Amino acid sequence: MKVFIVSDMEGVAGIVKWQQTTGGESPAYQEGRKLYTEEINAAVRGAKVAGAGEIVVMDCHGAGNEWTFNSLIPEDLDPACEFVVQEEWTEYTELLEQGCDAALFVAMHAKAGTPDGVMSHTVSGQAWRDLQFNGTSVGETGINAALCGTWGCPVLLVTGDDAVCREATELLGDGLTTVSVKKGLGRFSARQLTPARARELIEEGAKGALKDLKAVQPYDPGKPCEIRIEFTTPDRLVEYRNRKGIEQVDGLTLVSSAGDWWTAWSQFFF
């Protein structure tokens, strides 16, 4: 069994502030990296017990500078996994293209504008107000699920705060296993499980989720696919609006349309 672990950082138990997720030598970020790596290890252990023979971890957290998609602590990772450091978000698809049985999403956060979402945002906390796939508002869980679904890989587990667990279940269905490690009290405050308890639950969640590889169908936003991004201010459109296949529909909104999700998404980013 091949398992793809896709991870972000804001959904980790113990993390509630940007200082804990912004790359650099600060004690807060270094502590965040440790907490993050150990939640990944918990998912790896669960997948291994469930029978996974190949486990690949992809860090999707944009920490900034040389830390972008590179926040995990390599020497502390469970040796049962391999890990990817990518240059561009959603760049790595090799495992999916080869055929992957399941994806596990660890430490995810809720989409922009979610009232009880800890550190909630979509792609950019400053630039993106809303993202829609064929009229359905999604966050980064939806983006990563669509990436996996493009190659027929189902998402069986999502961990993070209460809000992202709710968001993921609404998008992917009741067969999804979720593990909540904190409850948002505001955007930068939460009631949280201890890291040790969170890791126990994530390990059990991963192990249980992989018992039924058909509990969740691969996510397909639909064909053809329209991706609509609403930005916070007009200047935020500039880096995307002149790319081939991108249409500006008003002062804050860009649209990409194509026969399938991957092509529409690639027009924005590749």
* Helix H or strand E segment including 228: strand 225-231
DSSP state of 217: P
Residue 39 · residue 171 · CB < 8 Å: no
Helices (H) and strands (E) in the chain, counts: 7, 12
- pLDDT tens-digit profile of 179-204? 999 999 999 999 999 999 999 999 99
pLDDT bracket for residue 205 (50, 70, 90):
very high
What pLDDT was estimated at residue 270? 79
Question: DSSP letter string over 72-136?
Answer: S-GGGS-TT-EEE--SSTT---HHHHH--SEEEEEEE-PPTT-TT-TT--SS-TTTEEEEEETTE
- pLDDT tens-digit profile of 92-137? 999 999 999 999 999 999 999 999 999 999 998 779 999 999 999 9
Mean pLDDT of 128-155: 97
Q: With pLDDT > 90 as the criterion, what percentage of the chain qualifies?
A: 94
pLDDT bracket for residue 45 (50, 70, 90):
very high
Distance CA 104, CA 129 (A): 26
pLDDT bracket for residue 241 (50, 70, 90):
confident
Give me the domains of the chain, ranges plus CATH numbers.
2-127+138-209 (3.40.50.10780), 225-269 (no CATH)
Task: Tell me if the pTM is above 0.85.
Answer: yes
State yes or no: pLDDT of 213 exceeds 80.
Answer: yes
> How high is the mean pLDDT of the chain?
96
State yes or no: pLDDT of 159 exceeds 80.
Answer: yes
State yes or no: pLDDT of 58 exceeds 90.
Answer: yes
